[in-house]
Structure 1
Amino acid sequence: MPTSTSFAELYTEVQQFYARQMRQLDERKLEAYAETFTEDAEFGHTPGREPARTRAGIAADLHEFHKRFENDPVQRRHWFNMIDLEPQDDGSIRSTCYALVITTRPGGKPDIAPSCVVRDVIVRGEDGGLLLRSRTVEHDQLF
């Protein structure tokens, strides 16, 4: 376990990583979002669908997923909170957090759905920055 100072720095770094990553997703900058994963990453986000694999596969999967919103003037916001980090002996970090997806349409009230648990494996890239090796999103309504 890192010292409390280094753990606090790691926690802050992960929060900042998530903030940038979720903003990219919400702004539909899907290639930039995919770049936050390792080249061989796996991303399972929708119940009943096979996880996307590789950066290119993740971007393609998200483009396909977002087609449902092409004619729907919707703004989606992903909110990550209650982040629990577990540094591993191999240098990776296991992260478990809660996620809410807030959907708003013009003139409408925000709708919160789904509520999820997100399980990540975070690693350091060659430049020292954070990347996701894997992400699994578990939807609460399927418990």
Structure 2
Amino acid sequence: MNHDRYDDATIKDWLQRVRTIAVVGASPNPSRPSHGVARYLALHGYRVLCVNPGQAGRDIAGLPTYARLADIPEPIDMVDVFRAPEYLGAVVEEALALSPRPKLIWGQLGVRDDAAARRAEAQGVAVIMNRCPAIEMPRLQVTGPHP
């Protein structure tokens, strides 16, 4: 897939299709974007699970937090990555090791690694990078997951 530009219909479809989202790199600090986006997604009807090794077992934005994706005890539809681009490859490898695998890996603003995206897509996992769902949802008039 060309990751320089995404079709609005594709983004909207994904945002309406996914239900369970793991936010990797979620921060307990309310002033951090990862905290706000996790909360925003939860308030819009998604099941949000945070991933932050230093906060495992605690809540972030009132949401359960795990050390690793593999620690989440339920299937994940989307992995939303709030880590520096050089860590996206490791997150992709961790996601690909899950069973079942997530349907989508979403790299937040500034998070792009084309080689990692190719590895995920080769395993049937879609990738969107350098976008924020909390920006895309109001722009595309997505109110949350569709039933």
Normalising by structure 2, what TM-score? 0.27
Larger Rg: 1
Normalising by structure 1, what TM-score? 0.27
Q: Which has the higher contact order (CA 8 A, sep 6+)?
A: 2
